[in-house]
Every structure is written in C-alpha cells, then in structure tokens.
Amino acid sequence: MFIINCPYCGARDQTEFSCHGEAHIARPEETEKLTDEQWGDYIFFRQNPKGLHYERWVHSHGCRRWFNALRNTVTDEIFATYKVGEARPVLPEQNAGEAPS
C-alpha cells in the first residue's frame, strides 16, 4: 500500500486507484498495413522493467480521471505523476540504467 499523488485530487491511498499498465503506447497509424508481428507487438508485448516504469493509472474511486505515473517497480517509489498528454518526466539519475527506453 502506498500513497499516489493524483494530478487532479492530490495525495490519496493507492486502493482508490487502479493501474492499467505501460503508458505512452501509441496506436499504430495505417493499421491496415500492419503485419501480424506488428499487431502482436502492439497488443501483447509490454515493457516489464525491474526498475522505473512509466504507467497508466486511473483514480477509480475518486475523480475517475486517467493519468500517468513514473514508479519504481522494486521499491514502489513514485517519482512523478502527470496528466495524460503531458511530456514524460525525465528519469531520476539513480536506476536510470534500468528504465525503459
């Protein structure tokens, strides 16, 4: 259990939120031209880093709005939460080697 800082509501308990995996995945353009490999990669293959992870959260039991977070998957330390559409924050210096590219 940890505290998440919702960009709209402020600090709330993690149980109010639900996580929806890797953030910043753009739906491919011109989907009619995608190969099976590209479709599979888009739908099923995810970053699964041991370290820093950009991920999507939704404040399910609060404002119900979606936002992104940068969290360490080993320590559960959250370095930043930011609104959808905002640029991804710069990685903290430590553990940067383990962050997704």
Contact residues for another protein, defined by CB under 8 A: 1-2, 14-15, 18-19, 21, 36-37, 39-41, 43-50, 53, 55, 71, 73-76
Distance CA 33, CA 40 (A): 13
Question: Min. distance of Cβ 33 from another protein in angstroms?
Answer: 16
Question: Min. distance of Cβ 14 from another protein in angstroms?
Answer: 7
Per-position DSSP letters for 46-59, written without gaps between them: ----SSEEEEEEE-
Nearer CB in complex with another protein: 1/11: 1
